[in-house]
Chain A
Amino acid sequence: MKSLRSFMLFGSVLLAWELAARSGWWNPLLFPSLAKIADEFIRFVAGADGLHETWVSLYRALGGFALAAVVGVVIGILMGRSALAAALLDPAFSGTYAVPKLALFPIFIFVFGIGSLSKVALVFLECLYPIVIITCQGARNVSPVLIWSAQNMGASRVRIFGRVVVPATVPYIFAGLRVALPVAMIVVIITEMISSADGLGYRVIYALASLQTDRMLAVVLAIALLGYVLDRALVALRGRLVYWEKLDTFYV
């Protein structure tokens, strides 16, 4: 029933789009019909170019995201469990969270070059913040009862960290990753739109430069689907790794 409702909402949006496109109120070059977008989408997906551009954007996005995940989780847990680390790092993260990192892209180009590295570096920086902040919150919120219990059972500090702190933080880590993943896609597409000779962002600009809005929207659709698939994959991974949340004894 829930999926039917979502489908109906999605279908209504598509129907409204098609009706608006066919109404003649807007220029079809500016507001193309779904049929035209679908046609372009099939051409894009079926072509070798489409797959290549998707792969280019994907490895840039996932490269920066993976790097941010590794570094972010380590920093986040450190900040969550160590008052000294929090005192040292928290001002830096809180003070610069609101900075639009995309504005730093020209500097990244000069430091890392015009190719993939500058884009991966910016994705890393943008993704780092949500991962660090949410992981830190998770590590800080580990129930003292769990830690005391482990201590009472004679567990060492390392064992408590590995068997209590990390598992209790994992749901938060995944929450941070889930926030960061679409950010990675958005940043990569925007940087490719600004300065690139390949990738999905480049395809968006390429279509836009010759007023091919239908083609541009087909690429946007491909980006949206890619983002959706990545998100579902991450949710599935979370379901497998954070298995204890599904256990009957979890809330006991």
Chain B
Amino acid sequence: MNTIRYLLTAVLAGAMLYVPIADAADPPLIRFGRGFAAEEQVWLMSARPDLAPNQGKKYQLKQILFRANPQRFQAYLAGELDGGTAPGLAVIFARSQGVDMKILASICLEAAGSEHFSTTYMAKDGGPVKSVKDLKGRTLGVVGIKTATDLWARAGLLNAGLTPDVDTKVVPLGFPAMGEAVRSGKVDAGTFVEPFYSAEVAKGGLRKLFTAVEAVGYDHELLDIWFGEKFLKAHPDAVRAFLADYVAVTKYYLQNTRQAKTDLHKAGFVRTPLAVYLKNSDWKRDPGARVDVESLKKLAVFMQGKLGWLEKSVKVEDMVDLSYLPR
């Protein structure tokens, strides 16, 4: 009987000792929802963990691929994600519905200038659409309803004095199908991002109508990193360590783009042929990952005032927290 008691005591004592040891040994796991375009620095953290020295020590990273933003946010609401990537406007939507999340860092921006790529809207060369005004009574393809591509399309139409949905139909269509849809006249203009943009321009026969930056009139946030407020409160040091690594990886990516892209391709994060991927122009990325808060404020005002997409206004300054970024 005594032997059993001693054994039980030993097991309990062992278990009690093990818990703090296990806690100390295992840094917090960040379940991170990622997308499939323009997030190179984030992917590089998993493709090249050697560039992220805090990984495995101060945090663990598990990246989960999502095809669309609503699904990513639903996973977060269901408690399956701690943070992730998303377009700024998607986070604005989420915040307007009361989702407890904050933008902590920038991934890339839509910016003017030949050195950066900006999402481009194109029509068939030699077709009836010579300018945006010619889209009256016609169809414009975007990648999804209430996405950034939808916002830019509507901004471009409004600039030309056209009312979206009334004068011009805005229809969703996948990026890979966009080029053929424009060429075959199934849509009169479409949205083009890399790598499809370069591929379609190389084929010829398409003319540019406007870019995302021209549509809204200013450089603005495209993709950002967000975290749930509960996770931020529970593991602030893990998030700081994650962002320190993220900024370091961003700097590496900007200085060694060719090598970084090669590594991403090798790791399977990018399916575009390597030669095409290396040639593609890239979005603007801030080396310090600082978020352009003013541009998000303008976007929120535009979404509510001009597009009627928000029923309630969103306080963007409460939505962004840059204090977790390395100083």
Which positions in A face B, CB cutoff 8 Å? Answer: 26-27, 29-30, 106, 109-110, 113-114, 194-197, 202, 205-206, 208-212
Contacts and interface: CB of A to CB of B under 8 A. Distances in A.
A110 B146 contact: no
B189 to A, nearest CB: 12
Contacts of A113: 186
A202 to B, nearest CB: 7
A109 B181 contact: yes
Nearest to A210: B93
B169 to A, nearest CB: 5
Contact of A211 (B99, B172, B181): B99
B192 interface: no
B165 interface: yes
Contacts of A110: 177, 180-181, 184, 186
Given A113-B186, A197-B169, A29 B99 contact: yes
Contact of A210 (B96, B170, B174): B96
A205 B69 CA distance: 12
B78 A114 contact: no
Nearest to A211: B97
B144 A114 contact: no
Nearest to B185: A113
Given A110-B186, A114-B187, A197 B309 contact: no
Contacts of A197: 165, 169-171
B77 A206 contact: no
A209 B147 contact: yes
A206 B96 CA distance: 15
Contact of B145 (A30, A106, A209, A211): A209
A195 B172 contact: yes
B301 to A, nearest CB: 16
B47 interface: no
A30 B181 contact: no
B181 A114 contact: yes
Contacts of A195: 171-173
B282 to A, nearest CB: 27
A29 B97 contact: yes
B228 to A, nearest CB: 11
A209 B181 contact: no
21 contacts: A27-B77, A27-B78, A29-B77, A29-B98, A30-B74, A30-B77, A109-B181, A110-B184, A114-B139, A114-B171, A114-B173, A114-B181, A114-B186, A194-B172, A195-B173, A205-B172, A206-B145, A209-B93, A209-B144, A211-B93, A212-B97
Nearest to B169: A197
Interface string B63-106: 00000011001100110000000000000011011110000000
Contacts of B69: 209
Which A-B residue pairs are the 9 nearest by beta carbons? A209-B146, A27-B77, A30-B77, A211-B97, A210-B93, A197-B169, A197-B171, A208-B70, A209-B145
Contacts of A27: 77-78
Contacts of B74: 30, 211
B309 A210 contact: yes
A26 B99 CA distance: 13
Given A194-B172, A195-B171, A197-B171, 13 more contacts: A26-B78, A27-B77, A30-B74, A30-B77, A30-B78, A106-B174, A106-B177, A109-B181, A114-B186, A197-B170, A209-B145, A210-B309, A211-B73
Contacts of A26: 78
A194 B181 CA distance: 15
Given A30-B77, A110-B181, A197-B165, A210 B171 contact: no
Contact of A209 (B70, B77, B99, B180): B70
B251 to A, nearest CB: 34
